[in-house]
Amino acid sequence: MELLGILKESPALKTLFEDCMAGRSGFTADHFDAQVRKWIGLSSSTALRWITYRGLGGEMDGVMALGMSDEACKAFLMYACGERAVRELLLRLPRDHWVELKYVAEWMRNGITELIDVQEENKENETVYKVTGRRRGRRSVIEHMVDGSKDGVLAEVRSLLRETSCRTRRYFAIEGDLLCLRAVEDGLAIHWLLYTPELKSDPLGYQLYEQACLQEVPRACLSGGLMAKLTTTRPVPRVIAVVETGVRSLTHFQLGSRSVLLIAENIANPDNLGMILRTADAAGAEGVMVVGEGSDPFHKNCIRAARGAIGRLPLLYCDNLRTALHAFVAKGTQVIGATGSAQETLWQLDFRPPLLLLVGNEQNGLTKEVLEVCTHQVRIPMVAGQDSLNVGVAAGILLYEIQRRLYAECSRRDMRVNSIVK
C-alpha cells in the first residue's frame, strides 16, 4: 500500500507525520518516506515497503515499514493498536534474514520475543526501542533422509512433542497437506517438516514442498510406516509440521482500544474448541484465553478444526479467571458473559470495545462464579423449537455482531483527509 493511502487511514501515523512537518512548509509524504529511511538506516536506493494490518471494523490497526539491506531486514513497527496487530505484522518478516526491528511501545516486546529470537536489544531514545535477532524456527537447505525408527530426527521430534501441559508446551504438530501449507505460507516457526515421498505426487503437495524449500524449512523424508509410528491419525498423513509455539499469561497481554478478547471456559470437545479458535481468528479477535478443565488447544482434533488459527492467533492463560475479570471490571472494561438465561439479547446490548466475551461449557455454560463478575450477560434470541446453539456457532454469532457494529461505526466516521497530506 502507498504511503499516502496509509496516512489517510492511520490517525496515529498521520499524527507522526504532522509532528515531523511541524513548522516546515512543503513537507510532503516523500519527505516523510525519506525520514523513515533515515530512522531505520536504509539508503535512498533501497526499496521501502509499507506493511499494514486491518483489524475489527476494517480499521488500519497496524503499520510497519520494511526494507532489505545487504546485511539484514530492517523494519520499523511504527503503530499497532494491540497484540494481534503486532503478531500479524511480524509474521510478514522474512525467515531467512537477520532482523533489525525498531518499535515504539514497551508493551510490544512480549509479542516480539514470541516470534523473534532476540540476540541484542537496547532503548535508542525515550520513544524508540530496538531488537536484533532472527525469526524463530530452524532453517536448513539440507534435506534429511530418515533411515529407520532409531533415527535421531524421529527421537528429537518425539522429545519435542512429549510435553503435554498447555502452559509449558513449546512445540505442537500440524498434520495434513493444506494445514502444513498454511503454516509455511503464514511464516510460522517450523522446526521440522516431516513428509513421505507420496507428498510430491500431486500439485498441492508439491506446492507445499517447493514453498518449504524456498523458505529453508528443515525437511525430513521418511516412509509411510515410520510416519504411522509418529501419529495415531488414520489414514496416515503424508506430512507433519512440528511448530514452535507459546501460551502467554494474561498479565503480559496488552488489550487495545478496539480489542475483543474471547474467553472459552471449560470447553469439553476439542472440535468445538477448534471451531471457536477458527471463528475468533476470522472475526479479528485480539486473542483467545482457554481456561478451566476443558480441552487442550493443541489436541490434534482442535488443531484440525481450527484450520490454521493456532500459531497465528495469540493464546492466553490465567491462574484465576475470577480475579482477572475483577481487574478488568475495575478498569471499566466490558466483561460480557453469553448465557441462555440472560435478559438482554445481543440486539439490545451496547457492545463497546475493548471488551471480554466469555462462552462456556457445552452442557453447563459459564460457571456461576464467572457470571457473577460479568458486567453484562447476553443471550442469542431463538424462536420456539430450540433453546441452545453449538458453542462454536454461538461464539461466531456474537463475534460477528460485534464486527458488524464496528464496521457500521467506521462507515459513519468522518474520513476526510487532512489537507496537509499532499
* Mean per-residue pLDDT, 376-401: 93
* Mean per-residue pLDDT, 338-357: 93
Assess whether pLDDT exceeds 70 at residue 24: no
Q: Give tens-digit pLDDT for 222-248.
A: 999 999 999 999 999 999 999 998 899
| Residue 225 DSSP one-character state | H
Sign of the torsion angle spanned by Cα atoms 212, 214, 220, 224: positive
Confidence of residue 419 (pLDDT cuts 50, 70, 90): very low
Assess whether pLDDT exceeds 50 at residue 422: no
Which cell goes with 341? 438465561
Confidence of residue 12 (pLDDT cuts 50, 70, 90): low
Greater confidence (275 vs 45) lies with 275
pTM of the shown model: 0.89
Q: What is the pLDDT of residue 11?
A: 64
Instruction: Check if the beta carbon of residue 276 is closer than 8 Å to that of residue 233.
Output: no
* Mean per-residue pLDDT, 251-278: 94
Greater confidence (353 vs 127) lies with 353
* Mean per-residue pLDDT, 327-340: 96
The C-alpha atoms of residue 360 and residue 367 are separated, in whole angstroms, by 7
Residue 406, Cβ density class (10 Å: 0-12 exposed, 13-18 middle, ≥19 buried)? buried
292: left (phi over 0), alpha (psi -120 to 50) or beta: left
* Mean per-residue pLDDT, 22-35: 69
Sign of the torsion angle spanned by Cα atoms 359, 365, 367, 368: positive
Contact partners, residue 42, CB within 8 Å, separation at least 6: 48, 67, 69, 74
Helix or strand holding residue 327 (H, E): helix 321-330
Q: Give tens-digit pLDDT for 182-200.
A: 999 999 999 999 999 999 9
Question: Residue 128 — φ and ψ, nearest 5°?
Answer: -125, 130
Q: What is the pLDDT of residue 6?
A: 63
The C-alpha atoms of residue 254 and residue 333 are separated, in whole angstroms, by 13
Instruction: Check if the beta carbon of residue 314 is closer than 8 Å to that of residue 87.
Output: yes
The C-alpha atoms of residue 221 and residue 11 are separated, in whole angstroms, by 50
User: Number of H helices and number of E strands within the chain?
Assistant: 14, 19
Q: Give tens-digit pLDDT for 93-114.
A: 988 889 999 998 999 999 999 9
The C-alpha atoms of residue 291 and residue 60 are separated, in whole angstroms, by 31
Q: What is the pLDDT of residue 421?
A: 37
Q: What is the mean pLDDT of the chain?
A: 88
Spell out the domains of the chain, with CATH numbers in brackets: 1-133 (3.40.630), 143-244 (3.30.1330.30), 247-413 (3.40.1280.10)
Residue 331, Cβ density class (10 Å: 0-12 exposed, 13-18 middle, ≥19 buried)? exposed
- Apex CA 134: angle with CA 307 and CA 163, to 5°? 50
